[in-house]
Structure 1
């Protein structure tokens, strides 16, 4: 057993700290700073007031019979949902919306990737091209519907004028409202025209993070342009592609402006959101409208989650 050796100085705590050397201010309790909470509180109040409270109200009222023509409000359980699934018009609009989602998400993603690859490299006029590309996305949906009405219109539409001038048709045709699938296709062209620019910008943001050294190394190894796209561009751009697909899913599942402006409430091109508007504000059956809104919200969340799980992959360079 050995004791302390002679000449060894005793261990003393540093000034303002303990024997381990920890400063006293670290042991002191951190003071509460209200400034970050004050700065965030307006946004939090805004979100709660305009998003969470209406969402909670919709969830509750979806299980009640809320009809201005048949008061009072009374609890019906799943009655609103049973009436929805038994409605032939709802089934048609659900099928139309499914087609809008498949066509819209597929086309906007493919075109967005193609546009992003085109804009990935710098060239003269690139900034002006990006500015023009953003324009369809920046326009409100109602304005786009009115603009495209001038193209599809049966009496004064640009398309009819061009076709008759080229002697491809001998009389003006009605493009919207007569054939269901043709109406859906023409309306979806308008929506794809609107949502594709955002998809392109989201994918372009992912492409800008890919180092150019990877492409240079691929060329030195004899990799073709298609091989570089398949093995470098596509895997590393998957986060941006996933976000682009999610925004396309949300936009197509909730499409309202284009079908309503171009085709009105006709069932040939009507969407679920047009049906929600008709049920709530024309039939004044708000309970069924709440139930339909809740269904659309749940479907949007589920489909978006599935897209993220299937497409998104974390990228580590």
Structure 2
């Protein structure tokens, strides 16, 4: 008489196998995790802590300052002026780059001959480093020999100094350069959202008698809001942290200085690293708060 063989039902595992922990996935991501922590998290914590200390390379050691660094920043006229300039950069830059990005994305939404070439050319301003863009536009704004001065001379106008004298004109021209840089990325982000909209929705709207503007207002804009929100957030980050364009085009002049430029001046020219860390912390918090506000106001989950 044979002994019956007991078999487990399919899908049932032993207790030892079910409790076995697989370390391999965690082992694979450990080097990258440690690299990110060492490169980003540790310096960030270091900067936050030292923003509450007096850190002067010429007057060691560090001393507790509390909120003294922050109070000193708001008493500095140059910092307050740069904050006003940065607010202008953010408001104008985010608005213009979003409007122009939506316009470019809508024009590129439907395939046409040469669309890939247009997208490749359009992305060049975003791909160029900010310093290179500043040098290129410096030739355009150059008094006497620049492109704008040459065009103005054709109409009998005097193409004088455009940057550095009038504050509003200076920050406006600098922001034109930055908008020229960040708009291509905004357009591509919004275009990616538009590509997810089914063509059947536009066909149904056309059958219902909706014109192009009605379809844009009732289909395109609502369904593209996730892409628009992402585009606006990247524009907020770029404009709040602008450095290259104002520094290359206008130097250290206060007429166009940004808050990020002030962190450089305070830290490496004045050697007041504590105040520089404090200003960096304020910029980070402002970037985070404004980005969250933009997402809360603009982003809507789309369900087709």
TM-score bracket for the superposition, by shorter chain length: over 0.9
Offset at 1:13? 11
1:289 pairs with 2:276: yes
Matching of residues 111-260 of structure 1 within 5 Å: 111-164=100-153, 166-169=154-157, 171-260=158-247
Give the equivalent residue in structure 2 for 1:49: 38
In our comparison, the structure showing a higher alpha carbon Rg is 1
SS at 1:28's partner residue? helix
SS at 1:24's partner residue? coil
1:16 pairs with 2:5: no
Offset at 1:67? 1.1
**TM-score normalised over the length of structure 2:** 0.95
Name which of 262, 265, 275 aligns with 2:252: 265
Offset at 1:36? 2.0
Go from structure 1 to structure 2 and tell me whether the alpha carbon gap of 1:28 and 1:35 turns closer, same or farther (over 3 Å shift): closer
Render the CA deviation track for 1:152-200: whole Å, top value 9, x for unaligned: 0114212112221x2341x431000000000000000000000000000
Offset at 1:14? 6.6
Worse-matched range after superposition: 25-34 or 55-64: 25-34
Gaps of at least 5 residues in structure 2 are: none
8 Å Cα contact 2:52/2:65 also seen in 1: yes
Runs of 4+ in 1 over 4 A off after TM superposition: none
1:274 pairs with 2:256: no
Give me the whole-angstrom Cα distance separating, in 1, the residues matched to 2:147 and 2:244: 21
Gaps of at least 5 residues in structure 1 are: 1-11
8 Å Cα contact 2:148/2:159 also seen in 1: no
Give the equivalent residue in structure 2 for 1:299: 286
Go from structure 1 to structure 2 and tell me whether the alpha carbon gap of 1:207 and 1:25 turns closer, same or farther (over 3 Å shift): farther
Give me the whole-angstrom Cα distance separating, in 1, the residues matched to 2:127 and 2:217: 31
What is the Cα-based RMSD across aligned positions, in Å?
1.6
Matching of residues 29-40 of structure 1 within 5 Å: 29-40=18-29
